[in-house]
Structures are given as structure tokens and as C-alpha cells.
Structure 1
């Protein structure tokens, strides 16, 4: 809110504050301070008193009128003056220290620079014995916070330790929701007090400008709601003729509205400590006492320190819990991603019942659009409703969206609350052109409020409505509709991770497949025109593949080398995410180089290859040592006949086939058998393994380029070209290749090659 929209402070003649204008209350410039301490406003650099709180006579023994215009060198020791000048030079956050008057009195002081002046706050000091006890109590509190095993236990321990440290009757951990309402999630209290644990409080209980100040000043104390505040003398800074900005002051007087709120609650003294995470006010440590209670500077400092530690521990424990949750989804995540990547159309995989894409996010239904096709699985809005929702999502300027109360944000969703009260969506491409949308049904909930949140107006005895803070804090139970179970942070992270994987791989894969389709279509058209033209284009394609392979390999090699250099040279300086990105770059460069090599191999198998008498036994003996056999592998090879074939192409054929047997092995020790026999003009060969196997319905699909039916993990990776190369080699020799297999049992690859001409004649 711009400052010129604030009211004039009441101490300067402004209007009384009530609920009609409290949103404009200038709580940062009240013009007065609490009576348990004194304030001096000093000019810089001479430290001359410009303003003083009216209670300095009682607190310091020096009347405000007498102090005005004087320099502090007339009243403070040399050491205190030196510290003030040092703080003035720093010109940053508030600093705490001790100030001693020339008369010998020592005060706890807080000083900071604001609007070009030095603000000095003075309070009664704490005895050394009590200070030592506070230090020990703070140490124990830190140990107990670190020992808490999860967020609820951490918050409960924080409330207990702050109450032990401060002596307040009640200490609550108060967490803000997305709508700025708050909920008490932990509480330590005097046994005879009413419990607020689990109660919610509306956003209006802590106005927006108050929440903004909680970010600037981590701690707020109201020592006595019944004490008279002490105004500044004079009310305005004589140099600037403006009120003093008290945003960072400890002694800043409390808003009259909040004072009345505390009185209505039966609270005489309060202390609030901000819990800030990622620059956002996550919640408060809120302390209440039924009588006036002054909290010394060192105790407040310990509370503020515990608040910062609590914020860090909350984030660490939430991150750890999110990590554990995501680990439980890791296998399902990989299965879904593998299925989407295995075929040319990811949507075909989405429809597979065993993947249960809706259940992956504990939702009732999921709507998906990928590769230009859409599908709805489970309970989802209708097509028209979905189109309206997507139109609204495009206005939100977000690529990830999640809410447990969609109807509150998009009223059109109320029509299908039984299906979509909760929404978790990620945009895969464009402004929600391709997407994943998970829906959760409405689950009516019971919410307990600390008083009726809808009745801020109190009626006086004469029947007139009075705008005052809520006077009733009795439990008020409300039935909440059109809400779903909230989305777990781990589910949100998993959705984003799945989206990122699809963005990185699916789009590129679909583009590559489309490009391949276009090339095949052009080749088909060329074939219809002329076989000669087709041969010419094939020659050009082979030449292009060779040139592309040669020209791409070098930049890819350099890119991989530089990623390794960056990852190792700056190890320890980059955060974990940056390291992950560099590893991912290296992996993708390796895959790209392998893909280029495989494409070159495939393109090189053209025309009729030169054939020769090929001794398969000798070829096998040369090939065996070069293969990456796993430990414990058993390989049996019978006496193989000679064939009439091309040596290089058959060597490539066997390398691919044995490589697949090694790559797609099961948990059992690998057992491979390679046999062959001549049958007339052909030699029939078979390679059997006991690996993961293949379903009979996929026996033909595996020979299609870029088809990968196995799990796509680090151990089982490839480019989907290997068997396509094998088929092309066999077809160039006039033979046949086929697969028999059973999932979990193993696979047998059969193929035929020409026998030697003189032997085949018999």
C-alpha cells in the first residue's frame, strides 16, 4: 500500500482507528512508544537530540524538554558514544549493546539508522546471573529442536522451549495459509487456559501492513496493554517535519486495534517472533500472558534466534520429508516416463491401466494432452468444462498450478466439485497447449475457528453497530465444502519433474519422429517418380549421414569434455542442482554421440554387400573378448557352419545381438547359447538368453526404428536402432530374422544367412 494512502497518526491529530479504516492504519509511524523504555532520536553525525519520548524523566532521570538540542556527549560515557558512532557508520540493521550514563546508570540499548537519523532505544538491563541462565536455556532449546524427528514434533518442541525461556502463559506456533488465514499448529500453555491448538483465525486478525512489518522486524513485544503510551516530543522530526518511521523499533507502541483485540482475548502482554522462509512470512511464534510482562533484551534476542533456527529446521525437515515421499514415487515415476518414451505416441502409454497415471498422484482422474492428442482417464470434467478451465489457466501465467479449492479461484469449477475440487496441473508446451491435469474430488471438512470469522461487528447496548475487534474467541465449527485433500509438496515436485522430462525428451523425440516421417514421405514420393531418383537421394542421404556424423561428433565431444571440466573443476562451488544439470548434459551428449554413430551404421548398410566365405567360429572367437560380459556369465557356442556373407555387417549384427543379451539381462546370472545349422541353401542361427524376455505381441515391434520396450534406466539405455540395424543386415543378405520370447524367462533371436554356394547346391 503506498504510504500516501495511510491515515494521519492519531497522535498527530488523525482519526480514531476502527475496522472501517484499520487497513490504512499507519502502524509504522504511531508517534509514540511503550512506557517501559525510553527513545532518543539523534541527528547525524553530531548525535544531537532531535526528539525524545515524553517518559525520559522517569526512565533516565532527564526530562525530554531538557534533552532536546543537547549532544549525547554531555550524558554518555566515551565508550557508549564510540559505539553509537560505529553503528551510525554501519547504517544497516538494529544493533544491541549496553549504554552507560555519566551518572553511572547502565541500560540495554538498541540503535539503528532510519530516515537519516539515529534511533536509540533504552531499557532496563538484565542481571548477569539471569543472562547466564538464558544462555544455558537457549543451548538446551537448540539441542531439543535438532532432535525433533518431524515438523509437528519440531513445532511442539519450539512452543515448549520458548515458554520455558520467557515464562509466558501461552506460546503458540501459528502458520499462515495461502489465503493469509492462520492456524495454531502447536501450543504450550498454562493448564487452566482454553486451548487454541488446531483453531484457525481469519486474515483480518493480522492486517496486511502488520504482516509486512513482521518481515522487517522479526520480533514484536507488547509489554502491557493497559499501560499509557509515551509520545515523542516534538511529534515531528524538526529537520524533516515528518513522523519517525518506527518499523524496526522494539518500543514502537502497539496499534490500538491490536491492543483492543488482545484485551478481548484476555491477554495483557504479547510477544511475536516471525518465522520467515524464502522471503515469505511462513508463520509466527505467538506468546500471550494474562498479566503485564516485560521481556528483557537478551531474552528477546534468544527468542529471535530460536525463531530463525526454527525456520531453518522447518525447511530442512520439510525438504527431508518431501525427499522421502518422492523416493516412494521414484519407481512409479520411472515406469510412467519409460512407457511414454518407448513408443512414438506417449498418449498410447498413458492409457495403459497398469500405469495408473491418476493413482500416481492419488487423484480421481487425469486429463492429458501430448503429441497433439488428448485423453481423459478416471473422473474428470467434461470436454466443454475442460476447455473453459484451460482458458482460465492461460490467464494465470503459470506453468505449474495447484490448489485444493479450485472453485474458490475459478467459480466455473463449482459445477464439478465432486470431480475437481482439487487441481494439480503442469503445462508441457505453450500456454497450456499440452498438459497433465490431475483432479481430486471434494471431501467436506470440519474447520474449527477461534471465534466466528464472519462477525467483526459488535453491537453495543444501545443497539448501535460498533466496528471493533472480535470480542468472542470461543471455538466456532464450520463445515467447509468444495475442497479436496491438499497436494503434498512431493507430488507437486514429481509433477514438475515429469513435466521437465517430457519437455526435454518427448518434444525432441516427437520432432525427430516427425522429421523422420517427413523424410520417409519424401523418399516415398521420390520412389513413385523414379527408381533412379530414389537411388540418387539414398546416396545423398548416406553422404549426409556421414558428413553429419563427422561434423557432429567433434562439437559433441567438446561439449561433453567441457561439461566434465566444469563439473570437476568447480566441484564444491556449484550447488547440487547445478551439478545435476552438468551430469545430465554429459549423459545426453554421450547418448547423442551414440545415436549419431548408430544412424551412420544404419545408413551405411545400402546396396548389395560384397559376400565372402565367412567362418562364423573364427568370427565368434575374435568377437567374444571384446564384449562387456558381466561377472558370472555363462556362454555356450556350438560348432557353427560357414556362411556366404559380408564380414563387417555380420560382425555388426552379432555385436548388436550379444550386446542386447548383456544389456537386457535379469537378476539371474546371464546364460547365453549360440547355435547354428545348415538347412539347404540357408544357415539357420539362434541366440538364446535368460534375460528379461519380451512379450510375444511385441516380437515385430522391436525391429522398428527407435522402438524400446524395456525399462529405460541408466543400465538399460539405448537409441532403439540396434535391432533395426540387425534386420537391415539380414534383409541385405536375403534372409529373415524373428524373435521368440517370454517375459521373465528369456529371448531367442532366430535369423538366417546364405550358405556357401557349393554346399547349398546339395
Structure 2
């Protein structure tokens, strides 16, 4: 039988460690032994070299043999039942007895190989954790912790209490996987590492990928001697054994050297994962060799699960709390936006526009005008930046806290612009909003100089990981304060509201213009239609009569009486034409007055009009009552014409056999002076309430030929000139009420 080692003998150094295949080292740590079984037959396919000291058999004696060679038939059947289950219970290890020594064994499958890792109980007993107490303790931490960092500190303290490691740290990675120690629990004599940062090169990409696959990794003693794995040399067998899920997996020699340079002898790490990304780690360090039993590891892993369940919740809670604070700040802005007709021009300098998201400056460019608020660069710097943003802002949005990284001219703008949020308000970006933040120099506390993560040995023979982890401060320039998620959300919300404001302002301007044009056009069309009607109908009728009666006078046999009658009818028709022409001229000139508004006493105006119609009033035996009228600003001549037409209308359409009663009343509302003229005349049906105000639209009661429907149309025109209104309410046979409303 040809037996061979599967140790990965590729030369690993600091120049190629990024591609080191750490999941297939082909060797394990020496505090336990490993056996790999064929999944179908349970024959031993792989075996670690150190089995002799644990089992009494050499690896050459065990390869190709059944599992019962080192355990009982009952234990083998127990394993078969475990493998036959639909899902493995990874929390429950097997307890195998080999030569009367108990071992924890956590089976898992790698491709077609069942991997058994045998670890003797470190303290000789199965130490079951008090999960109830641990859960209760975690809940108490949740109730006490005000934020994520405080919860991290409690988790670090509890993890150290569970495991007994000298130092427990919680790392948090940034977007580039640089790690920061955000919580720490340690022996009192150890120097603190809280706040120290570690470069992303300390944990290569393939190591981060392995942390996602296997959440727990333990190194019992950095001075261990790697134990090689052996297999039977057969081309049908797998050449490598994937140990990604193995707890005994040997560690990269580069990482071992790194830990030795730190002075660390044993480690335990728990991955903290969020959204399939490595958020951070719980990292336990011990300064002497240390092994902990399975259930203690499980308790530590449970701490990681507890904490992971809270990361997103706490981050969301922190963001929500901050978002609520911002929301309270922007409410006055949002209310102004809904009530202001021109928010951009009237309120662009409101300090809340920048303060709500902790910006130092704010700019809005609208209709080629730049509105500045706070600390903003001058046009010589702003205009080129705008041009660049319009070109590079994907989807009309751009956010950065390190502008110089993408825009080199920003080196001259650090006092005003090191970071910005940009939102276009239209597809071309001609209208836009920008928030600015200046440079905020900050110091980063690195654990050793990150630029010297690889150093040359003193003899110059080889490269090695850095040996110094003393505090090394780096001053970072040209960065602004990072924009928080709630700040970016509020900026987008305000930009959206600005966009709506701009669109509404444009729409309102166009709407007002179109309404004014439409009103003028409608009025002109209505007048033109009526003028056309007069020309086509009302003027033709008296002209036809003139022609008819004039033709009768040409016959010699016409009597003098017929001749006189024809002349009288011709004169009547000519008078009708004159009346129509005068009315048309009166209505037309009512729209084009040079008269100015004056504050007058309407009581005097009403008295003058009543005096003008005294003869008609006496003839009708009319009883007229009036309220005291106000002093208001009006067009005096037109107001007199208004009163005159309304009183004339009441006199004209009074009942023949009933004395006229006319009541002039006054009421002041919030917006109008309302004067009403109510009579007991013949009235009209309310379906004509709108028609009677149109020019030359007359109901012609009693065959009154002098009524051509111009008086009320002129009243309507007068009230339009005063930005007021006129209305009518009638009842046939019972009278009518005409109300005019002058704006207060």
C-alpha cells in the first residue's frame, strides 16, 4: 500500500500570502488528531501522523481500515445514524472513548469525506454551560446598553468571563476591511488596545472568506508543530482535503509569525457577519497556551450569535434616533415649502437648509442663478466643480467625503469643500442642489506603522510581518466628516422637494399666464359674439323697418296719415339703432377707464342716484329703505353707474298695481363689503340668474322695447374692474335681490 502526505508544500511568503490556500494546508494542530472516512463505507481514507500517541496505532496501520479499529461497534452505529439524519446537530459533539480516554468529536462532511476531529477534554470533564444564565445575562445587557458600542463592551466583558482569555476585543471593519478595536476587556496589567486600528493586510481576502465559512477558529498554542495528514496514494482519491470547517486546521505560518510578534500564545476568534459580509470579529488573546472545551466554545459562539442579532437592530436604532432628530429640524422647512409660493428665492438662505445635516455650506442653482447659503466656494471654483459633477454624477446624484480622490482641483477647496452631496433637479443638471463639508483632519491610531506591515529581518535574509505594534498615529487630510445614512436620506428628500418646488413654480407661472390670457380671450370672445349678434340681428331689424316704411312713402297715392305713420316708425327704428350703438360704446368704454380708485362715502353716492330717479320713484309710490353704507376704495364714476343701473332695474321691472319696495342693505364679511338691492318687483326664474349678466341678454318682460340687456352686463363689468362680484336671486312674481361684493 502506497501512503503519501498531503501537506501543501507550496512556498508561502509575504509576497504571495494573499493567494495562500489556507483551507487545504494538509496538516493540523497537535492537540488532537484527525481521521477522514469514506462517506459510504466509513473506511479510514485520511489520518494524521500523531494518531500513535492517542490510539496506539500508527497512521499506516489505520489507513484503509474500518472505524471500529479504534472505537466500539456501538459508537460506529451512532455515527452512521448521525450521518443518515437529514440535518446535523452541530451543537452536540460525539463523545468517543479511545483506550479509555474520552474525546469530543464534531463530525462534518468535506466533499465525499467524513471528517472526525478527536480532541481530548481539556479538563477531563464535559463542562455543560448554563445557557439560561447566559441568555438572561445577554438580555440584561440589551436593557442597559444605550448604543452599539456600550453593548460591545458588555459582550467583551461577558466573553472574557466565559472563556478566561487574557484579552477579549471586538473589531469592527470599515468598507476597506481596516479593523478598529471598538470594545475591550483585559487583564489589568496589559496595555489597552481600545481604539487601535489594524490595516486590511492583517487579514487577507482568503482569510476573510474562510471566516464567513467557519465562524469559529482556535489556536491552542502558536508554538505547535504542524502535524501532517496522510492518505493512500490512489489516483481515484481526492488529492487535497478541504479543512474549511475544521477546528484543528493548521494555521498559515505567516499568521503564526504575526501572532508571535504580538506576543500572543493562543487565540479564539468568532466571526460577526451581517448581510453576507464580515462586519467584525470577537478576538480573544491569551499570553500562554490555552485550550477550552467544546461547550465553552459553543457559549462563546452563542455570544457571537447574540451580538449579530443586535448589530443591524442597534445600527438601525441609532440611525432612526438620529433620523428623528433631523426630522424635527426639517419640519419647519417642509412647512415653508408647502406654504411658500416661491420658497427657493424667498428662503434659500435659511440656515436650517445646511444645519439639518451638519453641512457648512449649501448652494442651489435655479434658472441659471446661484443662491448661496453658508461657507460656499466662489464662482471660479464652483463653476468648474459643477461642470464635473454634471458629467460624473450617476443618476444625477453624487456623494463623497473625499472629493480630492476623484477631483484633483479639490486640493484648493479643503477649507470649504472636502466632501459634498449633489442632487440634480432636472435631467441636464442645470438646476441642482449641493451640500458642502470642509476638511476635517483626523488622527488614526494604528497598531504599528501600516506602511511597514512587511519588514526585512535584521540579517536582511527574509521578509516578515511587522514586529512593532506600538501606537503609531497617522494624520489624514482632505477628508470631511463622513455623511451618515440619515443625512443622505434627508438630503435626497429635500432635493426632491426642491425639484417639486421648481416644477410647481414653473407651472404656477404658466398657469397664471394662461388663466389671464384665457380670461381675456373668453371675455373678448363673449363680447365679440354679442357684438356679432347685434350686428346680425338687433341692428338689422330696425334697418329693415326703416327700409320698409321708407319705401311706402314713394307711392303718390299714399295718404298723409300713412305717410306720417311711416315717418314715426322710421324715427323709432333709428332711435333703436342709436340706443344699441350708444350701449355698445358704453360697454366698450367701461373696460378702458383712466379713472383712479378713491375712498368715498357710498351713502353720498346712493343719495345722488336716488335724487336722479326721484320723479320715477314718486310715480311708482316707491318705499326705499337703506342701511348705513361704508367708506371704501372704488372707482367713483363706475360705482355711481353701478348703483344707477341697479335702482333703474328695480324701477323698470316693478309691478304695475303694487307700490315698489326697495331695501338696500349692507354686511361686512371677512373678505368683502356686501351691498344688496332687494325689491318686490316681477322677479325672474333663477335659471336665468347667470344669463341676465351677459351683454344684450334681456328677458323682455312686459314687452319693454327700451330694455336691450345692457344694464346688468355693465354692472358685471364694473364689479370685474373692482375684483369683486355680482349675483342675482329671483322669484317669479315676488321680486329679486341683486348683491354686489367689493373686496375688503
Give the TM-score normalised by the residue count of structure 1. Answer: 0.64
Instruction: Tell me what 1:283 maps to.
Output: 280
CA gap of 1:44–1:343, structure 2 versus 1, over 3 A, is: same
Q: Work out whether 1:34 is the aligned partner of 2:29.
A: yes
- 1:397-447 CA deviation, whole Å, 9 max, x = no partner? 577654433334544433312212233445666596765432211122222
Q: Work out whether 1:477 is the aligned partner of 2:477.
A: no
Of 19, 22, 26, which residue of structure 2 is paired with 1:24? 19
Q: Give how far 1:349 is off.
A: 5.5
- Indicate if the aligned counterparts of 1:366 and 1:439 stay in contact, CA closer than 8 A: yes
Counterpart Cα distance in 2 of 1:523 and 1:377:
39
Counterpart Cα distance in 2 of 1:113 and 1:240:
15
Counterpart Cα distance in 1 of 2:55 and 2:503:
75
Q: Give how far 1:369 is off.
A: 4.9
Counterpart Cα distance in 1 of 2:396 and 2:88:
38
Instruction: Tell me what 1:131 maps to.
Output: 127
Comparing 199-208 and 382-391, the one that deviates more: 382-391
Q: Work out whether 1:531 is the aligned partner of 2:525.
A: yes
Instruction: Tell me what 1:319 maps to.
Output: 316
- Indicate if the aligned counterparts of 1:735 and 1:754 stay in contact, CA closer than 8 A: no
Instruction: Tell me what 2:606 maps to.
Output: none
CA gap of 1:255–1:118, structure 2 versus 1, over 3 A, is: same
Counterpart Cα distance in 2 of 1:12 and 1:24:
13
Comparing 466-475 and 337-346, the one that deviates more: 337-346
Of 294, 307, 310, which residue of structure 2 is paired with 1:310? 307
Instruction: Tell me what 2:141 maps to.
Output: 145
Instruction: Tell me what 1:364 maps to.
Output: 360
Q: Work out whether 1:44 is the aligned partner of 2:42.
A: no
User: What are the ranges of 5 or more consecutive residues in structure 2 without an aligned counterpart?
Assistant: 530-625, 628-661, 673-714, 729-735
Of 105, 108, 121, which residue of structure 2 is paired with 1:109? 105
User: What are the ranges of 5 or more consecutive residues in structure 1 without an aligned counterpart?
Assistant: 1-8, 536-639, 642-677, 689-729, 739-750
Of 153, 175, 182, which residue of structure 2 is paired with 1:178? 175
Instruction: Tell me what 2:67 maps to.
Output: 72
- 1:487-531 CA deviation, whole Å, 9 max, x = no partner? 33432343344456667x668857965885796599589779x83
Q: Give how far 1:365 is off.
A: 0.9
Comparing 518-527 and 63-72, the one that deviates more: 518-527
Of 131, 148, 156, which residue of structure 1 is paired with 2:153? 156
Q: Give how far 1:257 is off.
A: 0.8
- Indicate if the aligned counterparts of 2:726 and 2:738 stay in contact, CA closer than 8 A: no
Q: Give how far 1:19 is off.
A: 1.9
Give the TM-score normalised by the residue count of structure 2. Answer: 0.65
Counterpart Cα distance in 1 of 2:428 and 2:80:
56
CA gap of 1:142–1:240, structure 2 versus 1, over 3 A, is: same
Counterpart Cα distance in 2 of 1:144 and 1:65:
54
Counterpart Cα distance in 2 of 1:204 and 1:435:
40
Of 266, 273, 277, which residue of structure 1 is paired with 2:263? 266
Does the residue aligned with 1:214 lie in a helix, a strand or coil?
helix
- 1:55-100 CA deviation, whole Å, 9 max, x = no partner? 2222344432222223335535435544455446647895642142
Q: Work out whether 1:686 is the aligned partner of 2:670.
A: yes
CA gap of 1:524–1:215, structure 2 versus 1, over 3 A, is: farther
Q: Give how far 1:224 is off.
A: 0.8
CA gap of 1:527–1:488, structure 2 versus 1, over 3 A, is: same
Matches within 5 A, 1:205-216: 205-216=202-213
Matches within 5 A, 1:449-460: 449-460=446-457
Instruction: Tell me what 1:742 maps to.
Output: none
Does the residue aligned with 2:188 lie in a helix, a strand or coil?
coil
Comparing 237-246 and 83-92, the one that deviates more: 83-92
Matches within 5 A, 1:559-598: none
Of 375, 384, 406, which residue of structure 1 is paired with 2:403? 406
- Indicate if the aligned counterparts of 1:425 and 1:437 stay in contact, CA closer than 8 A: yes
Comparing 336-345 and 183-192, the one that deviates more: 336-345
Counterpart Cα distance in 2 of 1:325 and 1:479:
28
Counterpart Cα distance in 2 of 1:45 and 1:376:
76
Counterpart Cα distance in 1 of 2:428 and 2:292:
54
- Indicate if the aligned counterparts of 2:262 and 2:469 stay in contact, CA closer than 8 A: yes
- Indicate if the aligned counterparts of 2:129 and 2:299 stay in contact, CA closer than 8 A: no
Matches within 5 A, 1:427-446: 435-446=432-443
Counterpart Cα distance in 2 of 1:84 and 1:391:
67
Does the residue aligned with 2:116 lie in a helix, a strand or coil?
strand
CA gap of 1:208–1:305, structure 2 versus 1, over 3 A, is: same
Instruction: Tell me what 2:197 maps to.
Output: 200
Counterpart Cα distance in 2 of 1:425 and 1:20:
41
- Indicate if the aligned counterparts of 1:684 and 1:753 stay in contact, CA closer than 8 A: no
Does the residue aligned with 1:472 lie in a helix, a strand or coil?
coil
CA gap of 1:759–1:54, structure 2 versus 1, over 3 A, is: closer
Does the residue aligned with 2:146 lie in a helix, a strand or coil?
coil
- Indicate if the aligned counterparts of 2:457 and 2:463 stay in contact, CA closer than 8 A: no
Counterpart Cα distance in 1 of 2:21 and 2:58:
28
Instruction: Tell me what 2:420 maps to.
Output: 423
Of 7, 13, 31, which residue of structure 2 is paired with 1:11? 7
Counterpart Cα distance in 2 of 1:201 and 1:72:
45
- 1:612-651 CA deviation, whole Å, 9 max, x = no partner? xxxxxxxxxxxxxxxxxxxxxxxxxxxx99xxxxxxxxxx
- 1:294-329 CA deviation, whole Å, 9 max, x = no partner? 122211111111112112223322222222222222
CA gap of 1:213–1:432, structure 2 versus 1, over 3 A, is: farther
Q: Give how far 1:259 is off.
A: 0.5
- Indicate if the aligned counterparts of 1:683 and 1:753 stay in contact, CA closer than 8 A: no
Counterpart Cα distance in 1 of 2:240 and 2:34:
14
Counterpart Cα distance in 1 of 2:739 and 2:148:
79
Instruction: Tell me what 1:189 maps to.
Output: 186
Q: Give how far 1:470 is off.
A: 0.8
- Indicate if the aligned counterparts of 1:84 and 1:111 stay in contact, CA closer than 8 A: no
> Over alpha carbons, which structure has the higher Rg?
2
Does the residue aligned with 1:11 lie in a helix, a strand or coil?
coil
Q: Give how far 1:189 is off.
A: 1.0
Counterpart Cα distance in 2 of 1:431 and 1:76:
78
